Structure 1
């Protein structure tokens, strides 16, 4: 996804000299073209994410449209105070871009897992939180974030749902994107783990169960109207490569409860309230922590059996 992010940002910078990209001393194979074409719009802050965010805030105060770039936790949790106090409080045009959502860097261990970021960032007033499910979503939503302005968080996954060619449903900030329709239940996901939901939906279809599969790429502001409409019609399962507390599942549950809607059934799939200690590639960790396609399929069967 990161290649498609920088492709979109480079295209925007062609006609917008206010766009500035700051890296926390990584991503050079990806960012080289941008840096060479727009040297006055590119900075390397070094491994100093708090300073990077303060620099971004200062540039934004002078009219720049700034994107900071680093690995998941480093561009969010390490500099959370600066994002909160400098960026969000002043409603500045700064987008924190995190590469490696969830278990993308699973072989580097817990320090590189981004599994609390959605919950923490969506709690900040004025913050838009976006987690694309595929490369095309990432590219198109980057263009939209540039035009939107204001504080934002773009969570880029290493993986992809594989739905890049699905042009029937282009992503739109703040709106759910439906990739598969069905009447029996809805699988609502964010990030590349949507691929697991699509796999589960295929297996469920073999059993005669038709699932709607949705990318909730904009975790905040969530498309509450569409969520409530789904909740009135069918059971819902949320799927996220993130802690079960405070993430997409929590946001969907809050929306349904606030609308006083009686959903036929509801379940959340994600990381339990733990610090994951196992190291391995992304697919292996999805399996270990019970958020892969077979788990989604079995959860759907159990939920439908109890409805």
Structure 2
């Protein structure tokens, strides 16, 4: 695999807009619902090129989810799009009661997730969305690592019947996968094999984990990187296999350390294969606006902090 630092960077939101347009043209049941953020989420691609499939819901996320539930109940497939912070907190009651409980075929797209949201401020940042959505019965929870995976994931989700939450990032990320990549809901992807330790990552942290692994290899540490694009249903077998292979785990996510990937992996390990483990994520603190690199450093989720966590975790293993 080529270095992530040299890989072409592609915006997830651009790929999302283009793919949703394609799906809306090819399938009469697909509709795009927008919470008055189409220019930011890139669902304006549908508005401009297939306007009959674009429904403007305004700044009213709770109503948008109710409309989505109504559309799904008639056999249509709505893709409801807004910032992750708004969907996971402002409209969670409607999502739980009207979509998740009746197991309706609504696709929920949380854009601008994590810390790096273009200086929008802490009211627009989502560090709790994975934790919230994975507690909902019937909800599938996904977090792609690059633009290629966004497209493959959306195509799989289009065929899947049931409620799905997809977490997307604002900025471009290195291209990890090639066009032959086959995404499967519920399956982890081993991106790099190693013998000393396994980094289990999701979403935007996967490219940073690969960068950290490159640095660690230069220090003589053999690192596996296991990408977990599906937070729910979790690939428990892959986690257990990783624990058996290397004996120590570090998780990495652009999310709170509470309730997200790290918590999900810890739950599996404590029940199936207890091994030393550390979590890289945002600790129990409020976020704020700032330049991307400074935010990564301040909130301790940069590649440098993943490297640090790996070395600390290896001490628990006795290396």
TM-score with structure 1 setting the length: 0.94
Aligned partner of 1:40 in structure 2 is 52
CA contact (8 A) 1:95 1:151 kept: yes
SS at match of 1:279: coil
Partner of 2:270 in structure 1?
257
Alpha-carbon distance between aligned partners in 2 of 1:208 and 1:35, rounded to the nearest angstrom: 51
The 5-angstrom pairing of residues 1-307 of structure 1 reads 1-28=12-39, 30-105=42-117, 107-159=119-171, 161-166=173-178, 170-234=182-246, 235-259=248-272, 261-263=273-275, 265-276=276-287, 278-307=288-317
The Cα of 1:78 is off from its aligned counterpart by 0.8
Question: What is the total number of aligned residue pairs between the two structures?
Answer: 304
- In structure 1, C-alpha distance between the alignment counterparts of 2:179 and 2:28, rounded to whole Å: 30
Distance 1:257 1:115 in 2: 24
Instruction: Indicate if the aligned counterparts of 1:133 and 1:160 stay in contact, CA closer than 8 A.
Output: no
Question: Are the equivalent residues in 1 in contact too, given 2:16–2:150 (CA < 8 A)?
Answer: yes
Which structure 1 segments of 5+ residues have no match? none
Indicate if the aligned counterparts of 1:161 and 1:194 stay in contact, CA closer than 8 A.
no
State the 1:165 CA deviation: 4.5
- Report the RMSD for the aligned CA atoms in angstroms: 1.6
Q: Is the partner of 2:110 in helix, strand or coil?
A: strand
Q: Does structure 2 conserve the Cα–Cα contact (< 8 Å) formed by 1:8 and 1:140?
A: no
Shift of 1:10: 2.0
- For the residues of structure 2 that align with 1:82 and 1:36, how far apart are their CA atoms? 29
Q: Tell me: CA distance 1:160–1:212, structure 2 relative to 1, closer, same or farther (3 Å).
A: farther
In 2, Cα distance between equivalents of 1:18 and 1:204: 48
